Structure 1
Amino acid sequence: MRFAPAAAALSLFLATTASVTSAQDPEVDPRAASLVMEGRALLAAGDTQAAIDAFEAALAVDPGYTPIFIELAEAARRDGLQGKAIGFYREALMRDPDNFAAISGEGAALVEKGALEKAKRNLARLESLCGSSCPETVSLQGVIAAGPPARLAAETAEAGPASN
């Protein structure tokens, strides 16, 4: 009992220190930033696997840099791995819940998987956070309007209505 006041004071101090420390934006490691730039260039050139390798190397150098997860998700989407991309977007959203690029990207990957209702929820969230004219909202609106890829639409039509 005699340690209770000291323990309470110490826990209050640690809680305050932790919240102040977590509120600061960490600086990105320059090596990680360089690897991300390299990955973006490789992705633009169409070398998806090399881009993924560069992004994963950047993640190894600076695991706290959230934008790397968005880059990995974009590369996975281009590789046709929408489920993996959604996982990367969700990791980014766990770290930064209001990241517009992650919300929009996850919505686009959901459309590509055929999950239009879930993608529309992402769109509604984006509209509430940044409005209907921000670039991420406009981009997701376009993807939803276009609908799932033709290949997925054909597979869904062939499967017919689901029966229980």
Structure 2
Amino acid sequence: MRTSSVALAAALAVVSITTSLSGQKTDTAIDPRSIQLLEQGRAQKASGNLDGATDTLETAVAVDPRNRAAFVTLAEVADARDLPGKAIRLYREALLLEPNDVAALRGQGEALVAKGAVIRARENLVKIRKLCKTGCTDATVLAAVIAKGPPVTTAAVVIKPAVAKE
């Protein structure tokens, strides 16, 4: 009697869990509206409309926060606008969804080099090389960016014209 009530309770728990799981969307199913907005954002980026692309891609992410490709494209737009810090954050969001995304690792590595974080970029290169067993263009591109190093910035010097005395 005692074991039958425990077995009944366990069976009810299993039925309720499987019923709730079968009603949920799978993790790989991204909202079609988000995918459509992603394509619009890519077209705007390709045409040079970076402001419009940013707005459209942010909407795509708002519609479905699991749209990793939208995060990657949004990060590429941030790179094009010379905003490496924002790009690093957006690539990190994509990598939280899929840690083995080679394109996101490469993009984040490039943005890290632009910010001067070459050591962290090398860590991304190691991850890419582990994921790509044979020749990988992403690894080659990131290795070249790391070898080139961060951009040299100089302080802006303002030269004031000499004032003529009367």
Give the TM-score category using the shorter length: 0.7 to 0.9
The root-mean-square deviation of aligned C-alpha atoms, in Å, is 2.9
Q: 1:1-164 alignment to 2 at 5 Å? A: 6=9, 10=13, 14=17, 25-29=28-32, 31-131=33-133, 133-151=135-153, 154=154
Contact 2:38 2:56 in 1 (8 A): yes
CA distance in 1, matches of 2:112, 2:84: 7
Contact 2:30 2:66 in 1 (8 A): no
Which consecutive unaligned segments of at least 5 residues does structure 2 have? 156-166
| Structure of greater Rg | 2
Letter of the structure 2 residue corresponding to residue 122 of structure 1:
N
CA distance in 2, matches of 1:22, 1:97: 21
State the TM-score, normalizing by the size of structure 1: 0.75
Which consecutive unaligned segments of at least 5 residues does structure 1 have? 156-164
Aligned-residue identity in percent: 38
State the TM-score, normalizing by the size of structure 2: 0.75
Contact 1:43 1:75 in 2 (8 A): yes
Q: Specify whether residues 26 and 132 from structure 1 end up closer, same or farther in structure 2 by C-alpha distance, changes over 3 A only.
A: same
Between Structure 1 and Structure 2, how many residues are aligned? 149
CA distance in 2, matches of 1:90, 1:108: 13
1:158 corresponds to: none
CA distance in 2, matches of 1:149, 1:132: 30
How much has 1:120 moved relative to structure 2?
0.5
